[in-house]
Chains A and B, each alone.
Chain A
Amino acid sequence: MTLNFILNGRPTELEVSPDKRLLDLLREDLGLTGTKEGCGEGECGACTVIIDGEAMHSCLVLACQLEGKSVLTIEGLEQNGELDKIQKIFIEETAIQCGFCTTGMIMSTKALLMHNPHPTETEIRNALAGNICRCSGYTQILRAVKRTSEEA
């Protein structure tokens, strides 16, 4: 099928099998390897991207669902060569250890702050409940999200 959708703000057209997962389409067809595959079952959140403003698992979305939709990946966060504020603060707060969950954590944070620029700690925890960090660096991650919202 020919798929037309918006990827990181740019209209994108490609030939793709309808059963291809968005995750594979990004990594294999478009070379955007910032999005990671963890569990492949919607448990770990590593593959989180933002579709039409909502955080979703790119491992559970198929090409046949994407026509006309707007997809934002980690690669779409930088503006004019500058990292997004969330990315800078994650680095400053050492909210990254091995880094594998980081893309998903940042995309879930981005979606949260798009809806709710000043979330409470409970709201942050709810928004990130579907993102697992196996290095267990949650304290630093929460601190980074809080600081980002305070400095927004």
Chain B
Amino acid sequence: MMKSYAPKTMAELPASLAALTPESKIVGGGTDFVIRLHSGAVQPDALCYLGHIPELKKIEKQGDTISVGAYCTMTQMEHDPIVREYLPALMDAAADVGSLQIRNNGTIGGNLGNASPAGDLIPVMYLYDAKVEIASPNGTRIVPVTDVILRPGKTILEANEAFIRFLFPVPAFKSAFVKLGSRKKVTISRIGVALGLDMDGDYVREMKMFAGAVAIKPVAFEKACDFMKGKTINEQNVLDVAGFLSDYIAENVAPEFDRDYKVYASRGVVTDVFDRILGRL
């Protein structure tokens, strides 16, 4: 019979992790994993669920860092006052994941652990320079989120390791995220754009932009950000920024991954994310 570990405290966590093998699986909310489990695509020898540990469900601000437990759900992040004030792009991304039933169950740890190119929260983690704390039987280590994903479905996590919390530096810039799907609700991301703006009056001092669902990992648009330095946000400049995204997609996305549609849709999604962030300046 399959083994199961569900520690209830941080003190019990190392022993549970020590019992896991390379065939074992950490279960987050399960909204992606259970589908593969039920189809037989994965056949683990043990399941480990950490959602009973209170610390892993907490969102806290400590000095200049916001800590988000790995088992915080999308719904929790969407409504959390700290997230809404300091990490609005995380709120945007969490609020747009799947349906309410998925958002009530899906977790931030699972979103990264699943390592899907369409993972909604991942471009936002890149935008905010997030780090993730990883627990093992011997203690914890902290790693930049940008180092975590190796390929679709595969992260740097070793067999005895689990994400326990995410660390977001309080950003000194305004931020927003917009996802384009094939319909308004309950949709899989086709392009997700995370945008950060530090303004000097009407002029852009610094910009950060990452796009998700166009490559294995979120893509940084440094040239678009350099282009916007010292400029105002007007229709032409926004369209030029969209041009960096559509050029990237035209050159790098294979035709069977809806390349032509994504090239065309870049303009709309970039316009939308600027509109959203302008409402927050």
Enumerate chain A interface residues (CB-CB to B < 8 A).
1, 17-19, 21, 40-43, 45, 48, 51, 54-57, 59-65, 67-68, 108, 126-127, 129-131
Contact = CB atoms under 8 A, between A and B. Distances in A.
Nearest to B25: A19
Given A18-B2, A68-B52, A129-B186, A57 B38 contact: no
B2 A17 contact: yes
A21 B37 CA distance: 10
B49 A130 contact: no
B84 interface: no
Given A62-B47, A67-B6, A108-B101, A42 B31 contact: yes
A21 B186 contact: no
A140 to B, nearest CB: 20
Given A21-B38, A59-B34, A65-B27, A48 B101 contact: yes
A65 B30 contact: yes
A91 to B, nearest CB: 24
The 8 closest A-B pairs by CB, nearest first: A130-B99, A18-B4, A54-B104, A129-B185, A64-B4, A60-B34, A56-B105, A1-B4
B100 interface: yes
Contacts of A61: 30, 34, 105
B2 A19 contact: yes
A1 B102 CA distance: 26
B47 A21 contact: no
B186 A57 contact: no
A63 B105 CA distance: 14
A126 B100 contact: yes
Interface of B: 1-4, 6, 27, 29-31, 34-35, 37-38, 44, 47, 49, 51-52, 75, 98-102, 104-105, 185-186
Contacts of A131: 99
B1 A57 contact: no
6 contacts: A19-B44, A40-B38, A45-B99, A61-B34, A62-B27, A65-B30
Contacts of B34: 21, 59-62
Nearest to A126: B100
B4 A42 contact: no
A19 B51 CA distance: 16
Nearest to A57: B101
A56 B49 contact: no
Given A17-B2, A108-B100, 10 more contacts: A21-B38, A42-B99, A55-B104, A56-B101, A60-B105, A62-B49, A64-B6, A65-B51, A130-B100, A130-B102
Contact of B105 (A1, A57, A127): A57
Contacts of B99: 42, 45, 129-131
Contacts of B35: 40-42, 60
A65 B144 CA distance: 28
Contacts of B29: 60
A127 B100 contact: yes
Contacts of A63: 4
A137 B150 CA distance: 45
Contacts of A62: 27, 30, 34, 37, 47, 49
Given A21-B34, A129-B185, A45 B101 contact: yes
Contacts of A42: 31, 35, 98-99, 101-102
Contacts of A64: 4, 6, 27, 47, 49
A45 B3 CA distance: 29
Q: Which of A17, A19, A57, A130 has the most CB of B within 10 A?
A: A19
B3 A18 contact: yes
A67 B52 contact: yes
Contacts of B100: 55, 108, 126-127, 129-130
A81 B47 CA distance: 40
